[in-house]
Amino acid sequence: MPDNRSASTSDARWAVVFGGPSPEHEISILTGLQAERVLTKAGQQVLPLYWAPTGGWFLVPNGAEAKDFLEGPPSAARPVEVRLGADPGFFVKGRLRSERLDISAALSCLHGGLGEGGGYAGLMALLGIPTTGGSLYASALGMDKLAFGGVLAAAGIPTLPRVALEPDLELPFDGPYIVKPRFGGSSIGIEIVDDLETARVVARTSAHLRAGAVVEPYRADLVDLNISFRTGGDGVQVSDLEKPLRKPDGAVYSYDEKYLAGGPGEAGLSSAPRELPAQVPDEVAALAAELAERVAVLTGVTGVARLDFLYDESSGELVVNEVNAVPGALALYLWAPKVGAAEVLLDALREARDAPPVSAPSGFGSGAALRAAGGIAGKLVGLDGPRL
Amino acid sequence: MIKDLAVLVAVLALTVVSGLRWLRVSQREHYLPGRAGRIARLWYARSGQDAMGELVAVALAVLALVPFDTAWLAAIVGAGIGALVPTGLSVRGRTSKLAWTGRLRRLAAGWIVLVLVLGALLAWLVGPPATALVAVSVPLTVDAAAWFMGLVEKRLSAPFVAKARKRLARVRPSVVAITGSYGKTSTKGYVAHLLARSRAVVASPASFNNRLGLSRAVNDGLAEGTEVFVAEMGTYGPGEIRELCELFPPDVAAITTIGEAHLERMGSTEVILAAKSEITERAKAVVLPVDEPGLAALAERCRADGKRVVTCSVTGLDADVVVDLAAGTATLAAPDRTDGPVTLELGEGVAHGVNLAVALGIALALDVEPEALRGRLTGLPRAAHRAEVQRTAEGLTVIDDTYNANPVGASAALTEAAGLVGEGGRLVLVTPGMVELGPVQVERNAALGRQAAEVGAHVVVVGRTNRSALVAGITAGGGEYEVVERRDQAVAVATRVAGAGGVILYENDLPDHYP
């Protein structure tokens, strides 16, 4: 690999994008601020871009703290305009005219919602700015639990049976059931119910399940195992396997346990209790690593992602649960034993910057189809509907 | 000529020093006109020394109007004394420093212009020493400037408010408006928590409860797809809530309670009731606790007007929502009372049942199914600094009730604190008393002092604002007390007296611009 990377990185300007319209907006702010610090400490030039809940974009000062965002964008934030069209990009108001932000590549720290689900990826593709977090298609696939489950099943990857909650259909497996929002991250909106009727009631009354719900059999005996994979650097690499430790009576590893537990100043995913590396038989760890590499290829997710499994400790059965294209804290705590945070982020950014553009060229062909078409009037013949 | 210039420069400089002090007071009093003068009168009433000083300063300034040889000296000395008093009110501030926000800069600019114009007039009509009058009347000029700049600010903020109204009209959430003398913030927090699972909710942040604050909450926080917007509305006088409802029309209106908050500015509880009732005018559904006769009557009037009324009770009256804190249950009537009532169990940590009852009533008014609320009654958010109990390493229990300023809450906190005292410990009440209670301020503070004495508390009275009232109550109840000038001095005293197993209750906290 030609090592002119250090030279080209020194005048690279990286954007770190966080916030976004999603229930995980606050967590995204934390991931973003953490990533900005890591990159700045590594001597990089960073442009922190905050996407406010009401849609505005802001360039915030480096070194911002979480509490600066309590009442909206920090007071020193500069509004940024997003322009699509022939001359697209991010523009910040200068003294006299708007200045285009020069961005080599963007690091997506957007969790959930349109940020992780493909909207942001599509926006950046139209703006012509390379970004981590996967293409629009990979992000959408990762966000749609039903589609992802279908892809896994078609590829023969072990997974729990997962079906959509359809109004008239019976479920092919018995309760108790776990009902999850079809499009959603983290553990928000997950419900555990005993029977189909309750599942339907819950899906009707919950705001999180209204856009679509999937149902799986609930197995209280299964434990969570997570692994991170990254595609920057040298091919697909996998981290150690972790086992998050949930409270003894906890049913599901919840949003509160993940992000809010711990004393003030200590709360957060990085300090949630865990076993890293997980104490499981070697074959299980090896299988997890192999499945992570397969999922990376099947989904097309790039950058730094996390794959969540469910594991039956008594039988050794390992199944894939879901994939997160933009995991909390960008899974840096999972890579820490092997690779430093700055290297993980820079590899992801360089991969994005150097990757060929995803969208197919959308220019004109030679105009052959247009010339052969003739007048539009000819195309209206016979379209009026049935003769009475 | 030189003397004239020296007088003008000296008086201007001293006026500015005094001005910084009173501008800070105005900022801390939310730029309301008349407050600086009110605080000034409070200081002079509580400190004979400062009152004397101000009297001398004014006398000298008036003397300087007469054209005699040493009028210039009288002017400078008068202005100097005027800049010094009140001595306890610092220019830069201890607990809350002067923050040069945009609004303060505009107020300062307006005030400087006013002072220069007045000073110029006096200097031209009478003579340079006459400008000392401006130096000794700073609270008055600051109030006048605050009044005028208030009008300017309203014009300046009009586009911001218009933007918020457009945004609200575009996103079109159901708007829930909550008002009440106490409990607005807690109730708003409960509503957001109760609805979190079944609706996309946005609540206005704490203390953003006026025209500018709500506009900001909408502009910065009302995301696309929000289904319910919970807005806290505060008021200092009649007509304000009506104006807020015109800008942000509520679909559901709720009143938590009618108490004595801001009684001083409102005048009487009848006026407070009328001002808060304005919130029901445009709403199609109202949620009211019917334990208070005034609100029960309002509920009847709303029913007669054809509005949907959801009633709440914590004393067991017949109502749509009945909360029984002792039994730990909440009973909700089904809509149209077709099905039977649903009883839900409450979790821990509910301080005032009426706030939760109103929150549940709001959920009913929004047609949330009662069953959907069952799992939301645990983990209810607790407002910070309201009866927050902490235990220190030395075994001391500290109750932080510093954000509470109402007599009912203070009495309840005192009773609860008395129950927590352990072996060999004492209950210590640290309080500056309560303010803005107008005609009943002395009475309520005396009652608090008496209750503290009756439960055997040792009282540490902070500051001078309510000292005589509190002391009168304490001695009437046969209790013991100590007096300190500032809160930080109180902490050491309280810790010593409470001892291991003791309880310290910090009841209300006054900013340092109070005597």
Looking at this protein, which amino acid is placed at residue A312? D
Write the pLDDT tens digit of every residue in A217-227.
999 899 999 99
Residue A207 with chain B: CB contacts under 8 Å: 197-200, 227
Q: What is the pLDDT of residue B389?
A: 82
Write the pLDDT tens digit of every residue in B283-341.
999 999 999 999 999 999 999 999 999 999 999 899 999 999 888 889 998 776 667 78
Name the minimum distance, in Å, from the CA of A201 to any CA of chain B. Answer: 9
- Local structure of B390: helix, strand or coil: strand
| ipTM, interface predicted TM-score of the complex | 0.72
Residue B199 with chain A: CB contacts under 8 Å: 207
Angle at which helix B35-46 crosses helix B2-28, to 10 degrees, equals 100
Closest CA to B421 of B491, B504, B507: B504
Name the minimum distance, in Å, from the CA of B298 to any CA of chain A. Answer: 32
pTM listed for this prediction:
0.82
Pick from B221, B223, B371: which is nearest to A21 by CB?
Answer: B223
The torsion defined by the Cα of B387, B388, B392 and B395, in degrees rounded to 10, comes to 50
Q: Which residues of chain B have pLDDT under 70?
A: 336-338
Q: Do the chains contact at B198 and A205, CB–CB below 8 Å?
A: yes
Q: How many A×B Cβ pairs under 8 Å? A: 41
Residue A70 with chain B: CB contacts under 8 Å: 205
Residue A183 with chain B: CB contacts under 8 Å: none
Q: What is the pLDDT of residue A259?
A: 66
Q: Do the chains contact at B167 and A21, CB–CB below 8 Å?
A: no
Q: How far apart are the first and last CA of chain A?
A: 72
Whole-number Å distance between alpha carbons of A118 and B280? 44
Whole-number Å distance between alpha carbons of B461 and B483? 5
Give counts: helices (H), strands (E), chain B.
18, 15
Residue B219 with chain A: CB contacts under 8 Å: 54
For chain B, what is the largest distance between any 2 Cα atoms, rounded to a whole number of angstroms?
A: 92
Q: Do the chains contact at B372 and A205, CB–CB below 8 Å?
A: yes
Q: Which two tokens stand for residue B271?
A: 């006026």
Confirm or reject contact between A270 and chain B (CB < 8 A). Answer: no
CB-based contact B341:B319 (threshold 8 Å): no
Looking at this protein, which amino acid is placed at residue B181? S
Which residues numbered 170-199 in A keep a CB inside 8 Å of some CB on B? 189
Question: In terms of CA atoms, which chain A residue is nearest residue B375?
Answer: A191
Q: Would you give per-residue pLDDT tens digits along chain A (388 residues)?
A: 444 444 455 789 999 999 998 889 999 999 999 999 999 999 999 999 999 998 999 999 999 999 999 888 998 999 999 999 888 999 998 878 889 999 999 999 999 888 899 999 999 999 999 999 999 999 999 999 999 999 999 999 999 999 999 888 899 998 899 999 999 866 788 889 999 988 998 888 888 888 899 999 999 899 999 999 999 878 899 999 999 887 554 445 566 666 666 555 556 676 678 888 999 999 999 999 999 999 999 999 999 999 999 999 999 999 999 999 999 999 999 999 999 999 999 999 999 999 887 665 666 677 778 888 888 888 888 888 888 7
Residues from B in contact with A at Cβ < 8 Å: 167, 197-200, 205, 216, 219-225, 227, 368-369, 371-372
Q: Which two tokens stand for residue B455?
A: 């439960």
Name the minimum distance, in Å, from the CA of B96 to any CA of chain A. Answer: 19
Pick from B200, B220, B371: which is nearest to A207 by CB?
Answer: B200
Mutation pick from A50, A57, A71, A192 vs chain B, by most beta carbons of B within 10 Å, is: A71
> On the CB side of B230, how many CA atoms lie within 13 Å of its CA?
29
Q: Which two tokens stand for residue B358?
A: 């109103």
Q: Do the chains contact at A205 and B369, CB–CB below 8 Å?
A: yes
For chain A, what is the largest distance between any 2 Cα atoms, rounded to a whole number of angstroms?
A: 76
Partners of A49 in the β-ladder = A17, A59
Looking at this protein, which amino acid is placed at residue B407? P
Residue A376 is given by DSSP the state: G
Residue B227 with chain A: CB contacts under 8 Å: 207
Closest CA to B176 of B247, B104, B253, B244: B253
